[in-house]
Amino acid sequence: MRRLLKAALARFKTNPSSASGPAILMYHSIGENSAGFTVTPAEFRKQMAALREAGMPVVSLDECVRRGKAGNSPPAVALTFDDGYRDFEENACPALREHGYTATVFLVTTLVGGTFRTSKGLEFPLLSWDDARRLQKEGFSFGSHTATHPKLSRLEKKGARRELAESRETMKRELGGAGPLYLCYPHGAFVKATTRIAREEGYAGALTIDPGRVGPKTDPFALPRIDVNAKTTVESFRASLLEGKTRKAASC
Ligand SMILES: [Zn+2]
């Protein structure tokens, strides 16, 4: 317990998240199911409308990080979706298209086209490579959520490197281009060595589930996010965006 607390404090000291600045929103499933991380399509639609009403620009993840690092930039958000559920296309895309918003989806490369099983035993169908290619053509981006969704902090360095390198290679092969820019740590679990390996493997940055916003002092390999889940009301959504309120996220 003390070790955990010490690690959390150390992380806070080395990665102070800004109270203001651009925010990366974290979504998982958009649908009608009992998972705590799920947002219903109706709520999601309300949230996208709230961004529009607030005049909040929705930018790409890379642009969001760039603006945060530069500091003093006007508020903006980037939308991210973990695990690559098929309901992203079915339930999130219609509202995203309506507003012309882009988003980044994080894929678990060995599971693409299959099923994701949560720790509570819920099963989610996943996007296929064909789906991802089609969505990419439309302007959505994809990042790596590793090859098998392990807790990277628990793996030996060699195993962690394999997860990061293999998923990157697979994405390069399936989606073309130079490979994914961003990595998303499964369960938000990482240690200092993970960030070094991610950098060495060619990623531009990595996302955590630690709450906060992106600022000039933020470590690009420990990017904080604002969690949006089943408990988020449109009021709390507005408040977290406009007032910079964040809280600890639940992990999938
Ligand atoms: Zn995940």
239: pLDDT strictly greater than 70: yes
pLDDT tens digits along 128-171: 999 999 999 999 999 999 999 999 999 999 999 999 999 999 99
**How far apart are the CA of 145 and the centre of ligand 1, in A?**
7
Look at residue 18 in the predicted model and tell me its pLDDT.
52
196: pLDDT strictly greater than 70: yes
- 252 — pLDDT class (breaks 50, 70, 90): low
245: pLDDT strictly greater than 80: no
Look at residue 150 in the predicted model and tell me its pLDDT.
97
12: pLDDT strictly greater than 60: no
Look at residue 240 in the predicted model and tell me its pLDDT.
83
**How far apart are the CA of 14 and the centre of ligand 1, in A?**
24
Note the pTM of the prediction, 2 decimals.
0.90
**How far apart are the CA of 210 and the centre of ligand 1, in A?**
14
Domain-embedded: residue 59: yes
177 touches 139 (CB < 8 A): no
User: Of 191, 187, 153, 185, nearest to 167 (Cα)?
Assistant: 185
Say what percent of the chain tops pLDDT 90. Answer: 83
5: pLDDT strictly greater than 90: no
Domain-embedded: residue 248: no
31 touches 224 (CB < 8 A): no
Instruction: Burial-class residue 69 by CB neighbours within 10 Å (0-12, 13-18, 19+).
Output: middle
Domain-embedded: residue 47: yes
3-state secondary structure of 6: helix
Look at residue 73 in the predicted model and tell me its pLDDT.
79
Q: How many domains does the chain have?
A: 1
CA atoms lying within 13 Å on the CB side of residue 128: 3
Domain-embedded: residue 96: yes
Residue where the block lists tokens 């392990």: 150
**How far apart are the CA of 80 and the centre of ligand 1, in A?**
11
**How far apart are the CA of 53 and the centre of ligand 1, in A?**
30
pLDDT tens digits along 86-106: 999 999 999 999 999 999 999
119: pLDDT strictly greater than 60: yes
**How far apart are the CA of 144 and the centre of ligand 1, in A?**
10
- 249 — pLDDT class (breaks 50, 70, 90): low
Domain-embedded: residue 249: no
Domain-embedded: residue 251: no
Look at residue 13 in the predicted model and tell me its pLDDT.
41
**How far apart are the CA of 13 and the centre of ligand 1, in A?**
26
Look at residue 251 in the predicted model and tell me its pLDDT.
54
**How far apart are the CA of 85 and the centre of ligand 1, in A?**
10
pLDDT tens digits along 27-81: 999 999 999 999 999 999 999 999 999 999 999 999 999 999 998 778 899 999 9
CATH of the domain at 27: 3.20.20.370
Domain-embedded: residue 141: yes
* Summary mean pLDDT of the chain: 90
User: Of 28, 73, 24, nearest to 205 (Cα)?
Assistant: 24
Domain residues for 148? 2-243
Say what percent of the chain tops pLDDT 70. Answer: 88
10: pLDDT strictly greater than 50: no
**How far apart are the CA of 236 and the centre of ligand 1, in A?**
23
**How far apart are the CA of 251 and the centre of ligand 1, in A?**
8
Domain-embedded: residue 21: yes
Look at residue 243 in the predicted model and tell me its pLDDT.
61
**How far apart are the CA of 127 and the centre of ligand 1, in A?**
14
Look at residue 213 in the predicted model and tell me its pLDDT.
93
